[in-house]
Structure 1
Amino acid sequence: MHTIFEAIIIGIVEGLTEFLPVSSTGHMILAQSLMNTQNDEVMKTFDFVIQLGAIMAVVIIYWNRILSLFGLVKRKSQSMTGKKLNLLHILIGILPAGVIGLSVNHFVDDHLFNAVTVIVGLVLGGILMIIAEKKKGQPSTTVMDDLTYRQAFFIGLWQLVSIWPGFSRSGSTIAGGMLSGVSRAASADFTFIMAIPIMFGASGIYFLKNYHALSSTDLPFFVVGFLVAFVVALLAVVSFIKFVQKMQLTYFAYYRFVVAALFALYLLLS
């Protein structure tokens, strides 16, 4: 039986880390390890459902941009050439993770949702970010509207490594975008918009796969976690998105190394 206290703590962790390239999934797994939370089907489904709560904050912030993708509102392009981001960019970006993710999700659930793999992911993801900062040149694409279909596809490919818990979806895609000639700010914007259909899809899949393991007694646990993640993310999202757009990934990499080292020490001593 999972507690409301666990739901609140994990919801706060999710809301604070979803928009930073530090791996919200990895931080939730580490938090659950510290609290000795049972890593069962209910908890795995819970992790995805509360991520959806945090993503709802992105829906609110990017609401006009999302509506413009469907032609429901008109907006002025930020592109110097008058181009606009469209639904095909999003589809191309989510396709690699959608196809590969479905085929390996059982393996990830059974073997990678643990503190040791998160530590490895934090370190390797941090190394990727440092490489992206050192190898980046003058970006050919400075705003999201100028994103090419090829760049959208490569960002989607980089998202595949975030299937490993601890790598970070935003960290992988922002780093991948920078290596593909996209500015840090444009990569971050595309990452956050691309996360909306991915998280809706992942939450739906996990719920359908594991709904038989859920009961009515789990409802308060899910509702509290979802609401806490949504509220915390909504309070943090504006400043955090601007922070990620401007701050070098190298600093986030150093943070990841410190967290990985501290938790590795904790595991050795426990």
Structure 2
Amino acid sequence: MSHIVTAIIQGIIEGLTEFLPVSSTGHLILSGDLMSFKGDKADTFEVFIQLGAILAIVVLYWRKYLSLLGIVKNEVSQEANGHSLNLGHIIVACLPAMAMGLVLNKVIKNYLFSPYTVLIGLVVGGVFMIYAERNAKPAKAQSMDGLSYRQALQIGLFQCLALWPGFSRSGATIAGGLLIGASYRAATNFSFLIAVPMMVAASGFDMLKSYKTLTASDMGYFAVGFVIAFIVALLAVVSFMKLLEKLKLSSFAYYRFVLAILFGIYLLVR
């Protein structure tokens, strides 16, 4: 299959799945397996186009990011616990997964980027999401501005689970947020907000390691995948935000189970 066609398909899949707790990386690995799009370049491509989808969050939350940088005033009022979201919350939430990803990068790429490990991640992540939903603590933080530094760090620790492809970064952070006393809305918005520095770091690190193996011809389909992922994500994000408010985590967990079963059957019979 043409790399351009593959890039378009992968870009659409990335844009549609990045903001749902179903694991965009897992979906890209599974679809890449179906299209025989594998190897180091495919792995780098999958990480790179995720950055395209993440840019949709920058567009959606541009005022919040500028307020975190002190460029514009944060118009969100503080909650009763006296906390207001700032750059420190983002830093403490991102550091655990960044550090662990840096240390385990080679292990993750060599052993976890396969359809079989993704299926495990889909199932285990789905079970975790159902558990979190059923055992959620009373919400002390109703919005992102109500999150404490401790809660931000705890969500960041849960984010480390998403280093296993298929587990889902948004699924891990939203579920983790519910377990430590964040509302569904607060955990979801914070999950989206910290996605930007996480994916910028991951994409930048991967490109620094892989750029020497890429050729000029690779840049074309990399750019196509990036742009498609950005456009699809930008169109989908508002609808998905509304969808996330209406559906429970368990709904996405059951979808993950069905996908794992169907693809597992495919792997057995192919």
TM range (shorter): over 0.9
Aligned ranges 1:93-172 → 2 under 5 Å: 93-172=93-172
Q: C-alpha distance in 1, partners of 2:87/2:79?
A: 20
Aligned ranges 1:1-270 → 2 under 5 Å: 3-37=3-37, 39-81=38-80, 83-270=83-270
Q: C-alpha distance in 2, partners of 1:154/1:89?
A: 11
> Is the 2:130–2:249 contact (alpha carbons within 8 Å) kept by the matching residues of 1?
yes
> Is the 1:79–1:143 contact (alpha carbons within 8 Å) kept by the matching residues of 2?
no
Measured after TM superposition, the shift of residue 78 of structure 1 is 3.8
Measured after TM superposition, the shift of residue 246 of structure 1 is 3.9
Q: Which amino acid aligns with 1:266?
A: Y
Q: Which amino acid aligns with 1:171?
A: G
Identity %: 52
Q: Which amino acid aligns with 2:88?
A: L
Q: C-alpha distance in 1, partners of 2:151/2:240?
A: 24
**Residue by residue, what CA displacement relative to the aligned partner does 1:141-173 show, whole Å, maximum 9, x if unpaired?**
111101000000000000011000000000000
User: How high is the TM-score relative to the length of structure 1?
Assistant: 0.97
> Is the 1:52–1:226 contact (alpha carbons within 8 Å) kept by the matching residues of 2?
yes
**Unaligned segments of structure 1, at least 5 residues:** none
Q: Which amino acid aligns with 2:151?
A: Q
Q: Which amino acid aligns with 1:107?
A: V
**Residue by residue, what CA displacement relative to the aligned partner does 1:188-213 show, whole Å, maximum 9, x if unpaired?**
11111101011011111000001111
Q: C-alpha distance in 2, partners of 1:176/1:19?
A: 16
> Is the 2:44–2:207 contact (alpha carbons within 8 Å) kept by the matching residues of 1?
yes
**After TM superposition, which residue ranges in structure 1, 4 or more long, deviate above 4 angstroms?**
none
> Is the 1:188–1:245 contact (alpha carbons within 8 Å) kept by the matching residues of 2?
no
Root mean square deviation, CA, Å = 1.2
Q: Which amino acid aligns with 1:232?
A: V
Q: C-alpha distance in 2, partners of 1:262/1:79?
A: 46
**Unaligned segments of structure 2, at least 5 residues:** none
Measured after TM superposition, the shift of residue 77 of structure 1 is 1.8
Q: Which amino acid aligns with 1:27?
A: H
User: How high is the TM-score relative to the length of structure 2?
Assistant: 0.97
Q: C-alpha distance in 2, partners of 1:245/1:106?
A: 36
Q: C-alpha distance in 1, partners of 2:165/2:27?
A: 9
Change (3 A) 1:91 1:182: same
Q: Which amino acid aligns with 1:101?
A: G
Measured after TM superposition, the shift of residue 2 of structure 1 is 6.1
> Is the 2:96–2:156 contact (alpha carbons within 8 Å) kept by the matching residues of 1?
yes
Q: C-alpha distance in 2, partners of 1:79/1:255?
A: 37
Secondary structure of the 1:72 match is coil
